[in-house]
Amino acid sequence: MHLFAHSFVRSEATKSDFVDLSVPGWAWIALLVFIAILLMVDILVIHREAHEVHIREAAIESTVWVSLGVAFTAVIAIAFGGAASGEYISGYLIEKSLSVDNVFVWALILSYFKIPPKFQHRVLFWGIFGALAMRAIFIFAGVALIEKFDWVLYVFGGFLLFTAIKLVVEDEDEIDPTSGRFYRLINKVIHTSPNFDGQKLFTRENGRRVATPLFAVLLLIEFTDVLFAVDSVPAVLAVSREQFIVFSSNAFAILGLRALYFLLADAHARFSYLKEGLAIILAFVGVKMLIHGWYHIPTWLSLVVIVIVIAAAIGFSLKAEGSTEKVGVASSHDEIPPPFDER
């Protein structure tokens, strides 16, 4: 095993205290092929027939996707070493936690356009497929910028701090998916029919090829992912600069988002402290980038902070929900009329 690890990759610490991996081309091919196989099994076997995904199915699928993402930490550890696996799992947890907000935006878009539940998985599948390609572009461009212009780190760090503050101070206003310029551009460029044709993105009406509502929703989902990538990719680059680690952690976190959507789409109110938790994570990685020239926060410490913040956000949210339910029960009891009328 020791000889295999050395033949597979050379890993050493760089001056910036991040691992520097010499990854062979076949390792990239193996990763992409594995991701492609997972996607094909999902769309051609598990979800071949259009059907509504219920909570139990979503919970099982979400568990499988999370297990795969976490298990890949062992692959990274065997091939690259403990430092690399620490960077991978830190990046995975950052991307997974930041992606939860993406799930709630999907829920808003799909409900606004009244997409039938049985067709939602198919449009989200293609949304994830596109997201993987765009994240790859963002990651390679981000790493290239950092390697050439070190000052970009300060820009990323400042932007993440700004985003964290914005999350806390701004109210969550209701978003109208049709109010933006992007949606108006879709309607101008592409002839869209208001009618569905099964799971098809395009159909024919009166001899003319037109897009179905699923295609417009898909483009909106891709557009929102670009906006979220602007936050999440710099955040992951705060814990790793190796493209293979950053891409794989992003990929495995994103692959499980469809199952997470069906599990959490209607549970936004249950995570009342999620916004604050995400703000703390963004602020932490922002500060890490800003002080990198004077002090490097170790990967293990970053991982500990991320885990504690996520656990605290979930714990406080569940506690707040329990308190609300108790108040609701008490109020409902107060409204129950007495068993006998007092006359």
- Name the amino acid, one letter, at 217: V
Of 68 and 277, the structure prediction assigns the larger pLDDT to 68
pLDDT value for 63: 92
pLDDT value for 332: 46
Percentage of the chain lying above the pLDDT 70 cut: 81
**pLDDT tens across 54-66, in order?**
888 888 998 999 9
pLDDT value for 79: 92
Q: Is residue 106 part of a domain?
A: yes
Q: Which range is most confident: 7-11, 149-153, 160-164, 253-257?
A: 253-257
pLDDT value for 130: 83
**Using CA atoms, how far apart are residues 271 and 281, in angstroms rounded to an integer?**
16
Q: Are 232 and 95 in contact (CB under 8 A)?
A: yes
**pLDDT tens across 122-137, in order?**
888 888 888 888 888 8
| Radius of gyration of the chain from its Cα atoms, rounded to whole angstroms | 23
Identify the H or E element spanning 165.
helix 152-169
Q: Is residue 128 part of a domain?
A: yes
Q: Helix, strand or coil for residue 208?
A: strand
pLDDT value for 326: 54
Residue 315 has pLDDT above 80, yes or no: yes
Q: Which of 36-50, 83-97, 280-294 has the lowest mean pLDDT?
A: 280-294
Find how far residue 20's CA is from the centre of its chain. Answer: 25
**Using CA atoms, how far apart are residues 247 and 159, in angstroms rounded to an integer?**
21
**Sheet strands (E) in 191-326:** 202-205, 208-211
Of 227 and 118, the structure prediction assigns the larger pLDDT to 118
How many structural domains is the chain composed of? 1
Helices then strands (H, E): number in the chain? 12, 4
Q: Helix, strand or coil for residue 317?
A: helix
Q: Is residue 135 part of a domain?
A: yes
Residue 331 to residues 45, 97, 272, Cα–Cα distance (Å): 48, 34, 21
Q: Helix, strand or coil for residue 48?
A: coil
pLDDT value for 339: 41
Model confidence band, residue 280 (pLDDT cutoffs 50, 70, 90): confident
Q: Are 239 and 299 in contact (CB under 8 A)?
A: yes
Residue 341 has pLDDT above 70, yes or no: no
Q: Is residue 212 part of a domain?
A: no
Q: Is residue 336 part of a domain?
A: no
Classify burial at 126, counting beta carbons within 10 Å of its beta carbon; exposed 0-12, middle 13-18, buried 19 or more: middle
Q: Is residue 261 part of a domain?
A: yes
Model confidence band, residue 342 (pLDDT cutoffs 50, 70, 90): very low
Model confidence band, residue 216 (pLDDT cutoffs 50, 70, 90): confident
**Using CA atoms, how far apart are residues 236 and 285, in angstroms rounded to an integer?**
8
pLDDT value for 65: 94
Q: Is residue 328 part of a domain?
A: no
**Using CA atoms, how far apart are residues 153 and 157, in angstroms rounded to an integer?**
6
Q: What is the mean pLDDT of the chain?
A: 77
Instruction: Pick the closest to residue 194 from 176, 211, 218, 219 (CA basis).
Output: 211
Q: Are 240 and 90 in contact (CB under 8 A)?
A: yes
pLDDT value for 261: 83
Residue 133's φ and ψ, nearest 5 degrees, are -65, -45
Percentage of the chain lying above the pLDDT 90 cut: 15
Q: Is residue 91 part of a domain?
A: yes
Q: Helix, strand or coil for residue 314?
A: helix
pLDDT value for 85: 92
Task: Determine how many CB atoms are found less than 10 A away from the CB of residue 166.
Answer: 11
Per the listing, tokens 């293990």 go with 300
Residue 266 has pLDDT above 70, yes or no: no
Handedness of CA 13, 97, 223, 36 (dihedral sign): positive
Beta carbons within 8 Å of 91's beta carbon, 6+ residues apart: 236, 239, 240, 245, 246, 249, 250
- Tokens at residue 214, please? 């699923």
**pLDDT tens across 149-192, in order?**
777 778 877 877 887 887 777 665 545 555 556 666 766 777 77
Residue 44: give the domain boundaries.
Answer: 2-169+225-322
Model confidence band, residue 16 (pLDDT cutoffs 50, 70, 90): low
Model confidence band, residue 2 (pLDDT cutoffs 50, 70, 90): very low
Of 314 and 22, the structure prediction assigns the larger pLDDT to 22
